[in-house]
Structure 1
Amino acid sequence: MAHPTIEQIAELGPYLADRSSQADALGRLPDDTGKLLKETGVIRMLQPRDFGGLEADPRDFFNAVMDVGNHCPSAGWVAGVVGVHPWELALNDTRLQEEVWGEDPDTWVASPYAPSGIATPTDGGFIVNGRWSFSSGTDLCDWIVLGAMVKEASAGPDDPPIGSLHVMLPRADYQIVEDSWNTIGLEGTGSKDIIVDGSFVPDYRALDVRKLLDGRAAKESVRSGDPLFNVPWAGVFPGGVAAGLIGIAEGVLQRGIEYQAGRISNLGVVQADDHHSRQVLAEAASDIASARLQLVHNIGEAYDAVRAGHTIGINQRVVLRRDQVRAAWRAAAAANTVYDICGGNSIRLDKPVQRFWRGMHAGLHHGIFVRGPLLNLAGGVLMGLPPTGPSAVTV
């Protein structure tokens, strides 16, 4: 039986689709789309029950995100990114959880995690400064989590940081830079720049990134006995982004099928009767379905292992990341074959298939999908070598 959120998405999906072009025109998700996403509950799926969350199986979350992306690429992307933040917030001090969710469990938290700012230690916390890009869904969020390098006030510009944090700030303590999101895809995500100018962040609103990645944050939190919050970060956040991407690829396939079913080419070929078109669609459908299945299988395997009392080691974390990357690129490659047969008129902005295709390619530029270093690392692990290189920080 499907999770109630998935059933809600199926019911409300056509409304999300109707607002997709409006999202592109606005350069952000319309308020109505945000309201619909709240009605589905997708953003609360990884949120703890004691703060109004659904605390769902992560398999259901990934499937729900992909289903949203099938209806609206920008909404699917935001669901995958913003929907992961409650999982991380659950590992923070309960004072922070009370501040964010105490009055409204539907309060959304934006990001990004890239350490683009500086956190300077001071009495009781940190002074944060910096500018960050790619804050997806930020206009609909009232809090933000930002990556920051820790440096003493006396440190010089070339001195290395002494730590790395995720710091959380309320809307009054940061600035959204309007007109900073002008792109060729995922326009409706409104992934604008953020500026923080000397805001104070108390200690309890800061989380050590090393502890988040290696699982110590979960063990030291009030969620230490809860399997959901002890699944590795390497499976959850990058997996949520991959789910958004695969859902958009599914949208390319579905819109391509609909378009081809009613199309007659300029040469008079009825596409519904064209053997080549039908073969392309069948092969793409199989490859994209395999991408969804692999992503869901892997996170489920990790979740079940944690529930059984096992620790997820580095090798399994590498597999999670390896297959997120391969599944996303496999789905995108299959979706490209669909768009390739859609003909010249499919590039017109009134054709939905192009919106999904552009959004898919924009999403592939996210750092978690960089293939070379990650797959090099994963191949080395297969041969018994330790994970090294720039991608090691993501596993």
Structure 2
Amino acid sequence: MHEVHERILARAEEIAAEAAPSDELGRLTDKAAEVLRSSGVIRMLQPAEFGGHEASPVDFFRTLRDIGVHSSSAGWVAGVVGVHAFEVAQMDIVLQKEIWGEDPDTWIASPYAPLGRATPVEGGFRFSGRWPFSSGTDHCRWIILGGLIVDGDGRPVPGGLRHFVLPRKDYEIVQDSWDVVGLRGTGSKDIVIEDRFIPEHRILDPAPMEDGGLAHRVGRGDSPLYRMPFHPMFTAGITTATVAMAQGALAAFIASMRSRVTARGVKTADDPHQLAVLGRAISDLEAGEVQLFDDIERMWEQARRDERFPPEERLRVRRNQVRIARRAVDAVDELFLHAGGSALRSDSTLQRCWRDIHAAMNHASNNADPIYQAYGLNTYGHPLPASVLF
């Protein structure tokens, strides 16, 4: 077990204690952020030369799982923010020094949706836009934002998708923009940028990261970590967080069954129907975790052999990820349905997990139908939709 994982397990009760306060605050509490920061989880995928652990993705995602079981929002933020180090490690070394040179514990936010518009100017671009869903953003000092390069008439140019990186002074967090029913503690607020200059060394074309091939071109080829494919890495964080929420709901259901008595005076721990519900949920969730981590471990071994990741490999992983998430939320729905009226109370851990996992299913990474369609098209040798990221 990785040392960071051990530190997380040692502070599990502290993580759990901050789940409800984070919901109330609308972002991770400072205490929750401090636990993540001091544990080193956000530095697990960071290069060793910049104070990171350069850990295996297997260790990283297993650590995320055990954060998310205790706090959905903490697990979500740790995954989304933590995976950014994986990308920044493949960017210009000047940018890496700007971000981590003075403080290796600097956090980086996103989102990647290409909602910004970038106009070429000498030495870089003028950049503007507004983005929703910047998870953990209040605790971050840099951000990666998706955008499109446009021509003089404002029209996107072919192949113009880029990732733009900015320091905190160059963007605004819209503080009242995160009022939601689930994952409230993630603080996934809107970001606004108005006509900021972005120098060329803070811009990345993400396409070469898709099959893991960028690492060799930027001097990171000696590390198998940076030979992993970008989108399956990012989406694995979302899937892991979703599975962890389901495990948190399961733990809450088991705890409530120990003392709950039905209206007919039957202890739910002795009720055959309740036990059947429990058995189905445990089996489905365990199956999902086996599939999730088996895919991560297989990709890791492939990266260690310095093999590229063709579309069929990436689609297989994405097909599994969206199905794992669906099974997880279905299991939680059944648990919640059979948990009794007390599960509706605002202080119920089960209802918080139920809200959180349904919120998680609204993330684009858990949108299953486009992935199933792309997998089917690829199976029969048809062209894939350009809109599907995998």
TM-score (normalised: structure 2): 0.97
Q: Could you say which residue in structure 1 is the equivalent of 2:270?
A: 273
* 1:220 equivalenced with 2:217 (yes/no): yes
- Report SS of the residue matched to 1:145: strand
Q: Return the alpha-carbon distance in structure 2 between the equivalents of residues 240 and 189 of structure 1.
A: 14
Contact 2:44 2:53 in 1 (8 A): yes
Q: Return the alpha-carbon distance in structure 1 between the equivalents of residues 199 and 264 of structure 2.
A: 67
- Report SS of the residue matched to 2:69: helix
Q: Return the alpha-carbon distance in structure 2 between the equivalents of residues 267 and 389 of structure 1.
A: 57
Contact 1:149 1:163 in 2 (8 A): yes
Q: Return the alpha-carbon distance in structure 2 between the equivalents of residues 162 and 386 of structure 1.
A: 18
Instruction: Out of 210-219 and 245-254, give the one that drifted further.
Output: 210-219
Structure 1 gaps, min length 5: none
Q: Return the alpha-carbon distance in structure 1 between the equivalents of residues 33 and 49 of structure 2.
A: 23
Q: Could you say which residue in structure 2 is the equivalent of 1:185?
A: 182
Report the Cα offset of residue 261 of structure 1. 1.7
Q: Could you say which residue in structure 2 is the equivalent of 1:300?
A: 297
The equivalent position to 2:365 in structure 1, one of 365, 368, 371, is 368
Cα RMSD of the aligned pairs, angstroms, is: 1.4
Q: Return the alpha-carbon distance in structure 2 between the equivalents of residues 204 and 215 of structure 1.
A: 21
| Aligned positions of 1:96-115 closer than 5 A | 96-115=95-114
Report the Cα offset of residue 268 of structure 1. 2.2
Q: Return the alpha-carbon distance in structure 1 between the equivalents of residues 8 and 20 of structure 2.
A: 18
Q: Could you say which residue in structure 2 is the equivalent of 1:336?
A: 333
The equivalent position to 2:387 in structure 1, one of 370, 385, 390, is 390
Q: Could you say which residue in structure 2 is the equivalent of 1:46?
A: 45
Q: Could you say which residue in structure 1 is the equivalent of 2:115?
A: 116
- Report SS of the residue matched to 2:33: helix
Q: Could you say which residue in structure 1 is the equivalent of 2:280?
A: 283
Q: Return the alpha-carbon distance in structure 2 between the equivalents of residues 112 and 53 of structure 1.
A: 22
Aligned CA distance change for structure 1 residues 161 and 312 (closer, same or farther; 3 Å): closer
Q: Could you say which residue in structure 2 is the equivalent of 1:359?
A: 356
Q: Could you say which residue in structure 2 is the equivalent of 1:326?
A: 323
Report the Cα offset of residue 160 of structure 1. 5.0
AA matched with 2:257: Q
TM-score (normalised: structure 1): 0.96
Q: Could you say which residue in structure 2 is the equivalent of 1:255?
A: 252
- Report SS of the residue matched to 2:103: coil
Contact 2:227 2:306 in 1 (8 A): no
Contact 2:213 2:308 in 1 (8 A): no
Report the Cα offset of residue 10 of structure 1. 1.2
| Aligned positions of 1:127-138 closer than 5 A | 127-138=126-137
- Report SS of the residue matched to 1:54: coil
Contact 1:377 1:389 in 2 (8 A): no
Structure 2 gaps, min length 5: none
Q: Return the alpha-carbon distance in structure 1 between the equivalents of residues 192 and 32 of structure 2.
A: 26
Contact 2:212 2:309 in 1 (8 A): no
Q: Could you say which residue in structure 2 is the equivalent of 1:77?
A: 76
Q: Could you say which residue in structure 1 is the equivalent of 2:344?
A: 347
The equivalent position to 1:235 in structure 2, one of 213, 226, 232, is 232
Instruction: Out of 301-310 and 70-79, give the one that drifted further.
Output: 301-310
Contact 2:212 2:226 in 1 (8 A): no
Q: Return the alpha-carbon distance in structure 2 between the equivalents of residues 208 and 214 of structure 1.
A: 13
- Report SS of the residue matched to 1:261: helix
Contact 1:373 1:389 in 2 (8 A): no
Q: Could you say which residue in structure 1 is the equivalent of 2:153?
A: 155
Q: Could you say which residue in structure 1 is the equivalent of 2:141?
A: 142
Instruction: Out of 57-66 and 377-386, give the one that drifted further.
Output: 377-386
AA matched with 1:94: I
